[in-house]
Structure 1
Amino acid sequence: MPTDLPVRNTIRMSWQRSQDSLVDADQPAPSYFAGIDYDTTLTRAARPVIDALSSELTNEPVCIILTDAKGVVLDRRGGDRTLIRRLDSVDLAPGFRYAESEVGTNGIGTALEVGGPILVLGEEHYTGVLRGFACAGAPIAHPVTGGLLGVLDITTQAKNSNAVLLSFAKLAARRIQERIVEEANALDQALLSDYYAVCRHTGGSVIALGDEVFMINSHAQQHFDSTDQAALIDRTRDARGGTKPVTFIADLPSGTIARLAYNPTFLGDTLAGGVIQIKEQRSGTRTTSEGRVPALPGLAGTSALWRHTIHEVLDASGRAEWLVAEGEAGVGKLSLLRSVRDYTSPNGRLAVLDAAEPVPTEDFLSHAGAELESGADLIIARAHLLNGEAIEGLTMLLQSARDGSIGRDPWVALTMLTGQTGGSEQLGTQLLHFFPRTVEVPPLRHHLEDIPALVRQLLGRAGITGVTMSPAATNQLMRLPWAGNVTHLRRVLTEVARRRRSGVIELADLPAECRATTRRHLTRMEALERDAVVGALAAHHGDKTAAAAALGMSRATIYRKIRDYGIVT
Structure 2
Amino acid sequence: MNLDDRAFPADPRSPGPRPRLRASWRRSARYGLTTDEMRPVFTGSVDTGSLLYECGSEVLRGLQSTLANEPVSMMITDADGLVLSRLTEDPAIDRSLDRVHLAPGFYFSERNVGTNGLGLALADRAPSLVRAEEHYCTGLRGYTCAAAPVVDPGGAIAGSVNLTTWSDSAPELLLALAQSAAASTSALMLARGAGRTAQPAPHGEVFRVYADRTRSPESELLTPGWRNAFSEARSAFRRGLAVAVAGEPGTGKTALASLARRELRTERVLSARPPAPEDVEPWLELWVPELGKDSTCVIVSGVDRLPAWATSELAALFGRVRAHDDLQPYVVTTASADDLPEELRPLVDVVIDVPALRFRPDDIVPLAKHFAAQARGREVELTPAAARALTAFDWPGNVRQLRRVLREAAAKADRIDLHHLAPEVFTGPGHPLSRLQAVERDEIVRCLIEPGTTVADAAHELGLGRATIYRKIRQYRINVPGRTPTS
| TM value normalised by structure 1 | 0.43
Structure with more contact order per residue of length (Cα contacts < 8 Å, sep ≥ 6): 2
Instruction: State the structure with more CA Rg.
Output: 1
